[in-house]
């Protein structure tokens, strides 16, 4: 075969490829952007520029290959349907992931998918109000308009290049893409196999984990309490009150040295030496469901089984002869299940401030819990264990306090940031100001009885602090602000009189480093209850407590990496 024949064949191939690009330009651009943008953004944040460039060229080659395969479908309608499926299938997870990257600099993961599955319409609206302002809406409208114009007026195909120049550009990019793809597989082999590369892959993998979690909820719900073994039960404390907070950042509490006086009641209790304020506690996760899977069970980061295979605190307290109460201002029902709801159902009595589902109303603040607490106190037994679940500092922050608690404004925030961010911080500080009123109010209800009160939030909240970039919490890319929590204990005079050594133990432990995935050990030691799973080295008040035990969050050492902002070298 002579040279001219090869030249003709190559020219025909080039024309076909050129035609492929010209007829499928919009599809290829959208499909590329949906599958490239967020991962590229993440790679830039990780200072992996070369990998970001190489992945871009490799993806371009892959998009070209997928587009060529679509030409197998001779029926134009079927071909267009396949394009729509691919664009929508990649576009939806891309939009979710783009929001996560925009606000949290995190790719989509199981935590985000769980949050989506657990979110009702009200929370979705709150999320949109918090993270989508005028700038985001204008930007979204602009992008939609841009892509519509590109499609309607065929702007890409109208670029004035001769067909010869077009072919050179296309083949030049394809050639570079081929070289980069080979280089990526040789130099960055692990990149293609270690983690899912496409948003739809990450969404699918995360959905599998979320589905497993939902199955776990059903497993725990159906699990009977007959497997609880009590090896020692000297419990006599009349009331143990566990206040479960929400999204509370200790660095935004005056009690912990914050410069805004938003904890006057707790400050006063501390001044009278009525509080034990623990100074170095962190949560094991930065999302509620993940925290609750460990906070009330014997599961921690060292565990080799799923969390729902371990006994939980509610069942243990039931077996130890306590009447258990679950009083909550959080959701009472949900299609996707809720760990808190499972614990509630295992309690002797559970009550919620409202039926909270997708039709939930605004305006139910934590003060609505007071009548529930009053009723529970009237129904108390000889020994009582109360869990009181607050909304605390959950966003939107201005929904967490009544107007009368609007004490602080942007003028009280002494940070060099835009006023709109100062306003959000002021709202959060007001939420914690109201939270101070709630926690101290619950304490007052038990002041005249033998009672110990333990206050522990599920996790913390980033509020434009050291990062300066966002508010909220996320599991995939946490900062110290999302997991540094307050832990506070209060005891009535009767408790201190009857258990002076135990109160002394608590006071002596306030500066110990602690992660609350071991909280069940501490509560059981306070209650003088032992089970086969109890470990004194994991109880912060025990003299055998292991102060050297690492606090691991998502595979990272809190003290060495998250707290310092440094990544350890492998």
Yes or no: say if 238 and 383 are a contact pair by the CB < 8 Å rule: yes
pLDDT digits (tens, 9 = 90+) for 77-96: 888 899 899 989 898 888 88
Mean pLDDT of 172-193: 75
The pLDDT assigned to 218 comes to 67
Percentage of the chain modeled with pLDDT above 70: 79
Mean pLDDT of 275-283: 97
Distances (CA, A) of 156 to 23, 58, 146, 177: 10, 22, 12, 21
Residue with more model confidence, 288 or 467: 288
Whether the pLDDT of residue 109 is over 50: the answer is: yes
Looking up tokens 């082999």, which residue turns up?
A: 189
The pLDDT assigned to 357 comes to 42
Q: How far apart, in whole angstroms, are the C-alpha atoms of residue 26 and residue 157?
A: 9
CB proximity list for 460: less than 8 A, separation 6 or greater: 247, 248, 249, 250, 251, 283, 286, 473, 481, 482, 483, 484, 485
The pLDDT assigned to 360 comes to 40
The pLDDT assigned to 289 comes to 82
Whether the pLDDT of residue 378 is over 50: the answer is: yes
Residue with more model confidence, 209 or 55: 55
Q: How far apart, in whole angstroms, are the C-alpha atoms of residue 439 and residue 392?
A: 10
Reported as a pLDDT band with limits 50, 70 and 90, residue 126 is: low
The pLDDT assigned to 124 comes to 56
Indicate the pairing of strand 349-352 with strand 384-389: unpaired
CB proximity list for 264: less than 8 A, separation 6 or greater: 254, 436
pLDDT digits (tens, 9 = 90+) for 387-426: 999 999 987 888 899 999 999 999 999 888 888 889 999 9
The pLDDT assigned to 540 comes to 97
Distances (CA, A) of 222 to 114, 326, 346: 21, 18, 10
Percentage of the chain modeled with pLDDT above 90: 43
CA dihedral 24, 25, 31, 37 (to 10 degrees): 170
Reported as a pLDDT band with limits 50, 70 and 90, residue 7 is: low
CA angle, 316 then 318 then 319, to 5°: 65
Q: How far apart, in whole angstroms, are the C-alpha atoms of residue 131 and residue 472?
A: 10
Lowest mean pLDDT segment, chosen from 152-166, 234-248, 469-483:
152-166
The pLDDT assigned to 567 comes to 45
The pLDDT assigned to 491 comes to 97
Q: How far apart, in whole angstroms, are the C-alpha atoms of residue 519 and residue 525?
A: 10
The pLDDT assigned to 13 comes to 60
The pLDDT assigned to 264 comes to 98
Decide: pTM greater than 0.85. Answer: no
Nearest residue to 374 (alpha-carbon basis) of 353, 355, 392: 353
Eight-class DSSP state of 394: P
Report for 32-41, 171-180, 215-224, 480-489: range of highest mean pLDDT: 480-489
The pLDDT assigned to 409 comes to 94
Reported as a pLDDT band with limits 50, 70 and 90, residue 135 is: low
Mean pLDDT of 368-380: 95
Chain mean position to CA 489: 26
Whether the pLDDT of residue 336 is over 50: the answer is: no
The pLDDT assigned to 535 comes to 97
The pLDDT assigned to 570 comes to 35
Reported as a pLDDT band with limits 50, 70 and 90, residue 219 is: low
The pLDDT assigned to 358 comes to 30
Whether the pLDDT of residue 168 is over 80: the answer is: no
Mean pLDDT of 292-317: 90
The pLDDT assigned to 568 comes to 39
Q: How far apart, in whole angstroms, are the C-alpha atoms of residue 559 and residue 568?
A: 11
Reported as a pLDDT band with limits 50, 70 and 90, residue 58 is: confident
Token readout for 390 is: 């607050």
pLDDT digits (tens, 9 = 90+) for 511-569: 999 999 999 999 999 999 999 999 999 999 999 999 999 999 888 899 998 888 764 33
* Rg of the chain over all Cα atoms, to the nearest angstrom: 28
Whether the pLDDT of residue 430 is over 80: the answer is: yes
Reported as a pLDDT band with limits 50, 70 and 90, residue 149 is: confident
The pLDDT assigned to 396 comes to 80
């Amino acid at each position: 075969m002579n040279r001219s024949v090869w030249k003709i064949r190559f020219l025909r191939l080039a024309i076909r490829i050129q035609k492929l690009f010209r007829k499928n330009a919009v599809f290829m651009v959208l499909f590329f952007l949906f599958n490239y943008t967020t991962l590229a953004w993440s790679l830039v944040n990780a200072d992996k520029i070369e990998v970001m460039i190489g992945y871009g060229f490799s993806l371009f080659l892959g998009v070209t290959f997928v587009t060529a395969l679509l030409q197998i479908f001779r029926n134009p309608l079927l071909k267009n349907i396949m394009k729509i499926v691919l664009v929508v299938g990649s576009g939806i997870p891309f939009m979710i992931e783009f929001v996560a990257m925009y606000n949290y600099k995190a790719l989509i993961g199981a935590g985000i998918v769980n949050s989506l599955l657990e979110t009702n319409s009200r929370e979705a609206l709150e999320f949109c109000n918090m993270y989508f302002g005028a700038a985001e809406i204008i930007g979204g409208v602009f992008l939609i308009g841009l892509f519509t114009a590109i499609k309607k007026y065929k702007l890409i195909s109208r670029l004035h290049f001769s067909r010869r120049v077009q072919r050179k550009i296309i083949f030049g990019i394809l050639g570079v893409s081929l070289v980069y793809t080979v280089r990526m597989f040789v130099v960055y082999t692990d990149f293609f196999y270690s983690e899912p590369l496409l948003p739809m892959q990450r969404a699918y993998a995360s959905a599998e984990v979320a589905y497993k979690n939902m199955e776990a909820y059903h497993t725990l719900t159906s699990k009977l309490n007959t497997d609880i073994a009590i090896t020692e039960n000297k419990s006599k404390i009349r009331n143990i009150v566990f206040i479960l907070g929400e999204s509370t950042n200790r660095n935004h509490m005056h009690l912990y040295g914050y410069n805004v006086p938003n904890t006057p009641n707790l400050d006063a209790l501390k001044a009278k030496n009525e509080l034990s304020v623990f100074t170095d506690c962190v949560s094991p996760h930065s999302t509620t469901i993940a925290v609750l899977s460990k906070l009330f069970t014997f599961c921690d980061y060292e565990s080799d089984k799923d969390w729902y295979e371990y006994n939980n605190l509610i069942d243990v307290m039931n077996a130890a002869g306590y009447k258990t109460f679950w009083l909550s201002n959080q959701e009472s029902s949900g299609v996707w299940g809720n760990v808190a709801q499972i614990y509630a159902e295992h309690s002797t009595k559970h009550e919620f401030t409202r039926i909270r589902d997708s039709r939930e109303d605004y305006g139910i603040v934590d003060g609505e819990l007071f009548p529930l607490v009053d009723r529970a106190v009237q129904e108390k037994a000889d020994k009582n264990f109360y869990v009181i679940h607050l909304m605390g500092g959950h966003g939107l922050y201005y929904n967490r306090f009544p107007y009368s608690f609007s004490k602080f404004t942007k003028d009280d925030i002494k940070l060099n940031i835009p006023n709109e961010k100062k306003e959000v911080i002021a709202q959060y500080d007001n939420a914690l100001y109201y939270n101070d009123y709630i926690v101290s109010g619950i304490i007052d209800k038990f002041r005249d009885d033998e009672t110990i009160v333990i206050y522990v939030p599920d996790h913390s909240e980033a509020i434009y602090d050291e990062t300066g970039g966002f508010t909220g919490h996320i599991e995939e890319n946490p900062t110290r602000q999302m997991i540094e929590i307050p832990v506070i204990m209060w005891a009535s005079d009767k408790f201190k009189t009857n258990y002076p050594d135990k109160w002394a133990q608590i006071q002596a432990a306030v500066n110990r480093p602690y992660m609350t995935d071991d909280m069940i050990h501490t509560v059981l030691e306070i209650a003088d209850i032992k089970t086969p799973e109890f470990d004194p080295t994991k109880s912060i008040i025990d003299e055998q407590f292991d102060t050297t035990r690492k606090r691991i969050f998502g595979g990272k050492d809190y003290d060495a990496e998250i707290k310092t902002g440094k990544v350890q070298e492998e």
